[in-house]
Chain A
Amino acid sequence: MKLGKKLTGTLAIPVITLLAVWLICSSKGVALFETQLNILTFVRAIANVSLVTFALAINLNSGRFDFSVGSVALLSSVISAKIVLALNLGPVAMLLLSIVFGAIFGLISGAVYVSVKLPPIIVSLAIALFYEGLAFALTGGHGVSFANSANLLSFSTIPNLLIIIVIAVLFMVVVFDHTRFGYEYKALQSGQKVAVNTGIKEIPNALICYTIAGAFMGAQGFISATTNGTIQMSLNFGSISPMFMAFLPMFIGGFIGRFSNDKMGYLLGAVTSALISLLYVRLNVSSSVQQIVSALLLVCFLIYLNNEGVIRGLFVRKERAV
């Protein structure tokens, strides 16, 4: 593929979105990035969305749908916040603890999946219920508040968030594109039975996937907690909602992945989502309209992805007719 086509395919969606968002804002007389807070909102959205997208995509690309990612973020942030508040530690300690606990809870999810050998969607439902219940029991249902811990709340700055994003992307690219684990992951992804028959160990591979996904969700739980100053409890699958923000960037990432690297695609998908979120914020769009627009965008993009040949065919026929 030629470099020009690669660049166009990679950057088309985020650039078009940026232009569209900028035009809409300009037509309403609003500057997209007016204050430092707008930039912070944008970067924070990228961090949150990209981490959830990585976590979800790791397993979903292998056909493992995981409802428990949100509950892993919830539980790991609850435990790390409790430890940090009890020992009066700083935000870096909380971030590291969140990642470690996220990885452990991810590993446990994976271990249950490979042990019971039930469809991952079923296992993830049980795990989500269990982790939500555990987080609720640990906090007595009151959640965790650190509204008075200024040092924890001060972590969510643009440079800190950018560092987390860069590390996450580099980690994804290195681990999934440049290690033996990554090659085996891809082999299992494209031909599970053949890969297993050729001697690839599927169980360790799946366990590592769940562990990495858990670590990402730990980091996302930390960002969410330190942004809000509280961690609120969820029961009866209340924790699954963060998962939904990852679908649009994931499909955009898949599309961009055809022209460059899919991990970069997920990041650019997250940038696209963050631009749309910033537009909502800048134009004070109500949450119901936000949901409707986001759902319609997802449907339209999926319709394009699943009917690309037909749509392109229509244009080609028109050109020939002309």
Chain B
Amino acid sequence: MGNDTLIRKENRKAALFRLAPVMGLVFLFAVFLILAIIKDINIPYSFKNIINQSVVVVVAATGAVFIYTLGSFDISLGASLCVSALIGAMAYNVTGSVLVMLLVCVGVAVGISLVSSVLASVFNLPVFVTTIAMLSLLSALVLVLIGANGTGDVIQVPAAAVRGINNVWFKLIVMVLYLAFCIFLFDFMKLGRKEKFQGGNPVCAKLTGLNGKKLAIAAFAIAGIGVGLGAFLTITYAPTLSRNTASSVGMDIIISIVFGGMPVSGGARSKIYSAAIGAVSMTLLNQIMLTLSLDSGVGQMVKAMIFILVVYISMSNHKGNILPR
């Protein structure tokens, strides 16, 4: 066999592995459809549920891809989303304007992201540890905000105020616009290439004149926009906010990004659409568990096994002779 044939074969194999998350999504979609038909489930209603549940994670996680591409990691995004939503809701209650609520949600989330990135950049702190400290701070801030509101355990936006935008089409439009914005920045602008270069080889990137600190701040700011939009969509879906609002979103973001085939080490193999594929796949998986009426514990075990299987297949082409760290 010639060298060219071998290379072509290897490339085909690599492409197939890279497509594992997409194939996983298609497979889950097919399983869901089959189950829905067998169990006579209202399919349009289920799809509406899937969109409602996945759209917040898709938006927040797509922005987070910029952070992951740098080989960094932010564990505080869920708490940031909760704080942004709470302050956004408070802003609505003061002004009565949905637009102000949206702007406050996005502004607060971007502000929080910038604090994390500036702390990490200016004081040379490890990004991950900075975000752990931010997670504690923001979780505490959630309690303070809810306590300061003085109306019990929740902060509420009148349901009537968001009824007009609490529909699938509005959410899809927000999601598609933000995805398009991220794809444009990531795949068609210098910023995306620089982020991949910085994540893949920070030393070379520095030697070629890239400013890692500026790239980190840009990545966190873009992620902040996603988190802010996620906070706004959270309010439209569930206008009564409590300390548990978006409590699982932080980890869902990490799971979605990884499930969608994004390498945690970042770099050139990063894909902007990973988060969307991963988030929709995980929601489909949850719906399948619900349809099968599985015990919550067993359902989570199955989810864990499918997660590791898909990630194993999608990353199995990149293994060295030492254990990954």
Contact = CB atoms under 8 A, between A and B. Distances in A.
Contacts of A202: 322-323
Contacts of A291: 136-137, 139-140, 143
Given A113-B323, A114-B323, A125-B254, A133 B248 contact: no
B298 interface: yes
A288 interface: yes
B192 to A, nearest CB: 22
Interface in A191-207: 192-193, 196, 202-203, 206
B297 A134 contact: yes
Nearest to A297: B133
Chain B interface size, as a band, is 35 or more
Contacts of A192: 322-323, 325
Given A63-B325, A119-B265, A192-B325, A129 B312 contact: no
A33 interface: no
Interface stretch (A161-169, A276-284, A299-307, A314-322): A299-307
A118 B297 contact: no
A270 B301 CA distance: 33
A230 B297 CA distance: 19
A141 B125 contact: no
A187 to B, nearest CB: 13
Contact of B143 (A120, A287, A298): A287
Interface stretch (B2-10, B99-107, B303-311): B303-311
A193 B322 contact: yes
Contacts of A112: 308
B133 A288 contact: no
A92 interface: no
Interface residues of A, number: 59
A130 B140 contact: no
B68 to A, nearest CB: 11
Given A126-B304, A137-B297, A236-B251, A247 B132 contact: yes
Given A122-B308, A295-B137, 7 more contacts: A113-B323, A119-B265, A133-B302, A287-B140, A292-B140, A298-B132, A307-B124
Interface of B: 73, 119, 123-126, 128-130, 132-137, 139-141, 143-144, 147, 247-248, 251, 254-255, 258, 263-265, 295-305, 307-308, 311-312, 315, 319, 321-325
